[in-house]
Amino acid sequence: MASAAFNSPAILFLNTWDGPERDYMGTVLSRLYQQGYKRLIDPCAAAYTMATVAVEAGWPAEAIRASDVFLFPSVLGSVFAGQPLEALGITLDGIPMELTGDPCEQAAQIMYWQLRCRMEAKPDRNYWGEMVQDLVGRQDAHLSMMESQVRRLYAKLHGLEFQPRNLWASVEEAIDDPEAVIVINPPTYKGAYEKFFDTDGRMSWTAPTYDVWDSDVDIYRVADQLQGRKALLLIQQQQLPGAAAKSPVFARMMSHGDRTYICTNRPEEVLPLTNGFCVVPLTELPLTKLDVPVIPPDHLVTADSTVSVMALSHAEASYYRDLWMHKLDYKQTGYYVAVVIDGFLAGIGGYDTSTIVRPYQNKWLDALLLTFGVSPAHPQRLNRLMTHLMCSRPIIRSMMLPHVNAVVKRLITVEFTRYPESKGMRGLMKLESRTSDPKYGYKLVYVTDVKEVSTKDCVKTWLAKEAHWAKGRVVDAS
C-alpha cells in the first residue's frame, strides 16, 4: 500500500533548496551574523528550512522574522512564535476546529486534517483511495509522526517572530533596515501552492490577502526594488542558464538546462564571504552497462522473435540514453524499461507516473507519461517498435504496480521541437495540442489509448506497418 507520507511537504522544495544551497547559505549567513547583521527576514517560510539553516549557522531564533501566506507555514510559525493557534480562525467543514493538547499536538491535528482533506478532495481513484485509507486507518501513527516533527523544529526555532502576510509587506518593512538580511526562496511555479493545498473548501482560516507569486516577473521586480537600498537581499531563483536576475553569486546546475541561482543586491559584499562565486557543476552519475548485447544490425526482428522486458536503474538507462540519444537536456524519469528481443537489447524507454500521482491537470489522470523511447542504429526502425511496445498493456503491466496499471488507460508524450509536427509519432500517437515554446519553438502533446494486445501482436502490427511504409518509399522513388 502506498504511504501517505508521499504527499509530505517535501514536494514544496522541488530540489531547489537542496544540500549545496543550504551549505552555501549556512556559510554566508554565519559570516553575515558575525559581521553585525541583526535581523533575518524570511518572507517565504514554508517548512522553515531557511530558518533552520540560519539557527544552525549561529543566528538566535529571536532574530528571525518569518512570514508566509499559507496555512501550513502559519501553523508552524504560530507555534514557534508562541502565538495561540485559535488566532488563525481555522474551520473544518464549517465548524471551528477543536484542538487539544499542547501547541505541538494541536499543530499536528491541523496538519493531519489538512492532509486528509486534500487527499479526500482528490478524484475517486484507487491511488488516492489508498492514501485516504492509510490516513484513516493509521490516524494515531500519522498524528504522532507529525507531532514529533513539529517538536523537533520547535526545539530549534521557538522564539522566532511570525506573521501571516504577503511577501511584499515584509520586504517593504525591512527594505531600509541596514541590519537586515532578506532571504527569499519563492515559489518556482505560478499557482502551484494554491493547487497543492486545495481542500475543496473544507478547511478555511483567516488567510491574509496576497498576490500569487509569478517568478518570471516577481523575482526581477524584488531584485530591482532592493537595488541601492540598505537591507541585504539573497534570493533563490530557478532559471535557464544565463537568465538569472541581478546579481548571481551562486549557481548550481540541476540538469543541463536548469540552474538554481542565488542572487543579491550587493555582490561586492557577499562574494568576499565565500572567496568569490560559488558554482556547483552537475553531478555526473556513474553509468552502468547491461550484461545483454546490443542488437546487431544483421539480426532482423521477425514475427517469430521473442520479446521480453526488464526494469532498469537510472544509471543503466543513462548509459544507453547517452549512447543513443545525443540530447543532453533531459530530466530524470520514474521508471526505465529495457526491451530485449531474441536475447539482444533493442531499446530502452522511460515512463513517469506524475500525471496520475501528482496530478496538476485532471485531464491526464488516466494517462501514463511516456518520457522517451530510444533504440540503437539498425536497418529496421526499432524506435517505432519501442513506442508500439511501450504503449501496450503487457509492458505497462509488467512495469507498474497493480493499482497504477489499473488506472492507466492512455499514454501521453510531450515533445519540445522546432518542427510543428513530430514525424516519429506519425501513425503511433495522435497530436493532442501544439503550443509555442520560447526555447524550442513548439511544445507538442501526443496521446494514444493503451493497446490491449500481446507483445507478439505488437511486433506483427509494427512489421505490417513498416512493410507498408517501405512499399510507399519504393513507389515514391520510382
Ligand X SMILES: C[S@@+](CC[C@H](N)C(=O)[O-])C[C@H]1O[C@@H](n2cnc3c(N)ncnc32)[C@H](O)[C@@H]1O
Binding residues for ligand X (CB under 6 A) = 12, 17, 43-50, 68-70, 73, 166-167, 185-187, 193, 210-211, 213
Of 45 and 317, the one with the shorter C-beta distance to ligand X is 45
Of 207 and 303, the one with the shorter C-beta distance to ligand X is 207
CB of 363 to ligand X, least distance (A): 25
CB within 8 A of 12, min separation 6: which ones?
A: 46, 47, 193, 196
- Alpha carbon separation from 84 to 75, 89, 102, 314 (Å, rounded): 9, 10, 10, 47
* Phi, psi of 117, rounded to the nearest 5 degrees: -65, -40
C-alpha cell at 2: 502506498
Of 193 and 364, the one with the shorter C-beta distance to ligand X is 193
Extended strands (E) in 378-427: 410-417
C-alpha cell at 136: 484513516
CB of 245 to ligand X, least distance (A): 16
Amino acid in the structure at residue 315: A
CB of 158 to ligand X, least distance (A): 17
Of 186 and 359, the one with the shorter C-beta distance to ligand X is 186
Q: Strands of 180-184's sheet, edge to edge?
A: 161-164, 64-68, 39-42, 180-184, 232-239, 258-264, 248-255, 278-280
**425 vs 431: CA distance, rounded Å:** 8
Of 17 and 127, the one with the shorter C-beta distance to ligand X is 17
C-alpha cell at 373: 523511447
Of 85 and 294, the one with the shorter C-beta distance to ligand X is 85
Query: Which one, of 163, 157, 182, 198, lies nearest residue 56 by Cα?
Result: 157
CB of 169 to ligand X, least distance (A): 8
Of 166 and 405, the one with the shorter C-beta distance to ligand X is 166
**421 vs 427: CA distance, rounded Å:** 12
- What does DSSP say about strands 307-312 and 278-280: parallel, antiparallel, or unpaired? unpaired
CB of 211 to ligand X, least distance (A): 5
CB of 451 to ligand X, least distance (A): 40
CB of 68 to ligand X, least distance (A): 5
Centroid of chain to Cα 177: 35
